[in-house]
Structure 1
Amino acid sequence: MHEALVAPFLEFGFMQRALLGALMLSIGAGPVGVFLMLRRMSLTGDAMAHAILPGAAAGFLLYGLELVPMTIGGLVAGAVVALGAGAVSRLTVQKEDASMAAFYLIALSVGVVMVSMRGSSIDLMHVLFGTVLALNGDALTLIGLVAAITLTTMLVFRRALIAECLDPLFLRSVSRLGSPVHFIFLGLVVLNLVAGFQALGTLLSVGLMVLPAAAARFWANRVETMCLIAMAIGVLASVSGLLLSYHFSLPSGPAIILSAGLAYAVSVLVGARGLLTTLRPHTSHRIA
């Protein structure tokens, strides 16, 4: 048991760095995913993950696989897509989901073309799917900083975030925090996607954000409890995914997301609010 579960993380430095990065991503992205789900914006998170690709690709074209240029480019691209899609939805007849879909499809296509112009298929795979086993000190520092900023910001604006999930119109009527909190939250989404991009790539970075949060919904009602459960599921998925990758020579990023997907499937079936509980016949204790 020790050889299978513990030894890989004790013997290899790359496994330790991968585990540390995945754990910090889980802790930072889990609560963000819960609020995405409560706002019914889970697919928006997926769209934003694709939206950062052109910026990261621009950094790659200019400086290669360097952390800082690709990170700055991803942040800029994510902000442009978020603001652009929001402006289109507010100034035209098109709804936000349609404008976001249009923007992210264009961004994804532009990003893939930009990477292909200079890089090889290996570089494209790195950008799209990440290399969690190749995380270095700079990447870990970025991920840790993003996780710290995320948790601090969510603690400070916790009540406003919850209020906007429940009744955004009421929040805007009684407080000036309505619109600022919305954009602060979108900023946290982009930050965590950019951090996750280093480990999981643009296509999978949203996985540790959405899947643990969706699974946590089947176990709790309170927002705080859901956030803690989402973080715990993300941690378990990270550990199990890395172990599967090590023992069975699987790609590490997809293995982590598949582990989170398995946790979601189990939660759907046997969670406190899952299918088996919902479909179980309720016995009546009435006295005739």
Structure 2
Amino acid sequence: MYDLLVGPFAEFDFMRRALVGVLALGVGAGPVGVLMMLRRMSLAGDAMAHAILPGAAVGFLAAGLNLFAMTIGGLVAGFAVALGAGAVARATQMKEDAALAAFYLISLALGVLLVSLRGSNVDLLHVLFGTVLALDDATLLLIVSISTLTLAVLALLWRPLVLESVDPGFLRSVSRAGAPSHLVFLALVVTNLVGGFHALGTLLAVGMMMLPAAAARFWTRELTALVGVSVLVACVSGVVGLLVSYHSGVPSGPAIILVAGGAYALSVLFGPVGGLLLRLMPRRHLEA
């Protein structure tokens, strides 16, 4: 049992770094994923994850696999796409989800093209799928800092962020915090996606946000518990995914997301809040 569960983390420094990285990602991305689910923006998160790619690619062209350059590029591109899609939706008759889809497709194609101009297939795979087993001190510090900042912002602005997620019209009617809260929410999404990008790549970063949040929805209706379950699922998925990757030799990023997907599937089947098994069980009729 020691060799199966503890040995890989006790013996190898790269596994300990990866463990800290995925735990930090789970703690920061879990609550943000819950807010995105409340806003019905689950697929929009995927679009925003790919929006990071052109900026990260520009940073790669300018400085290679440089943490600072790719992070700044990803942040700029993420904010540009999020705000640009919102502006198009407000200035035209196009809905925001369609605008995000258009920006997502353009961003993905442009990012792949830019990386391919200078880099190799290995560099492209690094950008698309991440290298969670190769996190260095600087990258680990960035991920932990993003998670810490996320928790601090959520602690300070939790109520307006939740209100802006579930009933933005009511928040605008009683306060001027609606627009600032929306911008803060977008900032949390983009920064956590940038942190996830360095570990899991642009194609898988959003998985640590949305799959745990979707799984948690089948276990509780209470918001605080929903956040707690989401964080728990994200962290456990990260640890189990790393162990599966180590013992089987499969890539670590996909292993982590597939474990989170397994947790979602189990939640759909056995969750006490709307799970399939509970729905199929016969119910007693109300007695007069």
Fold conserved between structures, TM > 0.5:
yes
Deviations 1:203-253 (A, max 9, x none): 000000000000000001111111110000011100110001000000000
1:1-288 alignment runs, 5 A limit:
1-273=1-273, 274-284=275-285, 286=287
Structure 1 position 279, deviation (Å) = 2.2
Helix, strand or coil at the partner of 1:43: helix
Whole-angstrom distance in 1 between the partners of 2:177 and 2:278: 39
Distance in 2 separating the partners of 1:114 and 1:166: 38
Give, in whole Å, the separation in 2 of the partners of 1:27 and 1:196.
12
C-alpha displacement of 1:285: 5.7
- Give the residue type in structure 1 aligned to 2:64: G
Residues 100-156 of structure 1: CA deviation (Å, up to 9, x unaligned): 000111011000000000000010000000000000100111001100111111111
How much has 1:201 moved relative to structure 2?
Answer: 0.2
Distance in 2, matches of 1:127 and 1:37, equals 26
Distance in 2 separating the partners of 1:162 and 1:190: 18
Separation in structure 1 between the aligned mates of residue 56 and residue 20 of structure 2, nearest angstrom = 23
Distance, in Å, in 2 between the alignment partners of 1:82 and 1:234 is 25
If the length of structure 2 is used for normalisation, what is the TM-score? 0.98
Displacement of 1:281:
1.5
The letter for the 2-side match of 1:109 is: A
Indicate the percent of aligned positions where both proteins have the same amino acid: 61
Any runs of at least 4 consecutive aligned residues in structure 1 with deviations exceeding 3 A, and if so which?
Answer: none
Separation of aligned partners in 2, 1:165 and 1:238: 27
Q: What runs of 5+ residues in structure 1 fail to find an aligned partner?
A: none
Measured in 2, the distance between the counterparts of 1:26 and 1:184 equals 19
Q: CA deviation at 1:280?
A: 1.5
Aligned residue for 1:214, secondary structure, equals: helix
**Deviation for aligned residue 1:166:** 2.2
Structure-1 separation of matches of 2:114 and 2:163: 41
Cα displacement (A) at 1:157: 1.0
Secondary structure at the counterpart of residue 93 of structure 2: coil
Q: Could you say what secondary structure the match of 2:220 adopts?
A: coil
Q: Deviations over 1:58-103 (max 9, x none)?
A: 0101101010000000000001001100000001111100100001
One-letter code aligned to 2:231? M
Q: Per-residue deviation at 1:185?
A: 0.2
Provide the C-alpha distance between the structure 1 equivalents of 2:166 and 2:232, rounded to a whole number of angstroms.
25
> What is the TM-score when the length of structure 1 is the normalising length?
0.98
1:35 deviates by 0.5
Secondary structure at 2:203 match in 1: helix
Question: Hey, what's the Cα distance between the residues in 2 that align with 1:125 and 1:81?
Answer: 23
- The amino acid of 1:90's aligned partner reads R
Structure-1 separation of matches of 2:111 and 2:272: 42
